[in-house]
A and B are shown apart, each in its own frame.
Chain A
Amino acid sequence: DSGVTQTPKHLITATGQRVTLRCSPRSGDLSVYWYQQSLDQGLQFLIQYYNGEERAKGNILERFSAQQFPDLHSELNLSSLELGDSALYFCASSATVTQFSGANVLTFGAGSRLTVL
């Protein structure tokens, strides 16, 4: 157990639907990252939050949104789902984001596998 908890582990839904993926970071970590892993595109960075604020954005679609709550857990919302959104969604956390600290090592959760039919 890495200390990063993601729910649900598996999710099957239909096109056009909306889902929410949840992530609880490791105790003490302030930063949360979301990544999408699909077979043909590797691990794609979606978005990063630090202590409740958005810090960096990657290739996140407009249909997707995320937030980090005061208790530091984060949710990734995926809407108007398409077949191509089927993937493994990873959450990772780190203590900080500073370049001078080893504390920006990522600890990953087990992932949420989304299947869109």
Chain B
Amino acid sequence: AQSVSQHNHHVILSEAASLELGCNYSYGGTVNLFWYVQYPGQHLQLLLKYFSGDPLVKGIKGFEAEFIKSKFSFNLRKPSVQWSDTAEYFCAVNFHYSSASKIIFGSGTRLSIRP
């Protein structure tokens, strides 16, 4: 069955540190890739997405992600984090089949930033 893995459950960083959150999926077919963020007390919202073209995609608030098809990965990065980046981050994959599609989320990574 298709799955999405986020290996880091909780990441703690100091302000200005660089961030990389891992996301891997299992499926050999067509996929669209997303990162969503859930700030404390708020609903999930889109951070960035990949559909086709340049595998390096840029999102809001200085985040970017790189799709590496050979590694089935879509890691999220930010060169310098801020305290306001404290949130839970979810990788999501839209798996496309011949007659349907399904959007599966990873288990999430809680990011805590020390001021």
Contact = CB atoms under 8 A, between A and B. Distances in A.
B104 A90 contact: no
**Chain B interface bracket (under 10, 10 to 19, 20 to 34, 35 or more):** 20 to 34
Interface string B5-42: 00000000000000000000000001010101000000
A102 B51 CA distance: 7
Interface in B38-59: 43-46, 49, 51
A80 to B, nearest CB: 26
Given A45-B102, A48-B102, A102 B43 contact: no
A104 B41 CA distance: 24
A55 B44 CA distance: 22
A97 B101 CA distance: 7
A58 B101 CA distance: 11
A105 B49 contact: yes
Interface in A41-56: 41-45, 48, 55-56
Interface residues of A, number: 25
Nearest to A48: B102
A45 B96 CA distance: 15
A104 B95 CA distance: 12
B90 A43 contact: yes
B68 interface: no
Nearest to A97: B101
Given A2-B45, A99-B30, A108-B44, A42 B102 contact: no
Interface string B45-77: 110010100000000000000000000000000
Interface of B: 30, 32, 34, 36, 43-46, 49, 51, 90, 92, 94, 96, 100-108
Interface of A: 2, 33, 35, 41-45, 48, 55-56, 58, 90, 92, 97, 99-100, 102, 104-106, 108-111
11 contacts: A2-B45, A42-B107, A43-B108, A45-B105, A56-B102, A97-B100, A102-B49, A108-B36, A108-B43, A108-B45, A109-B43
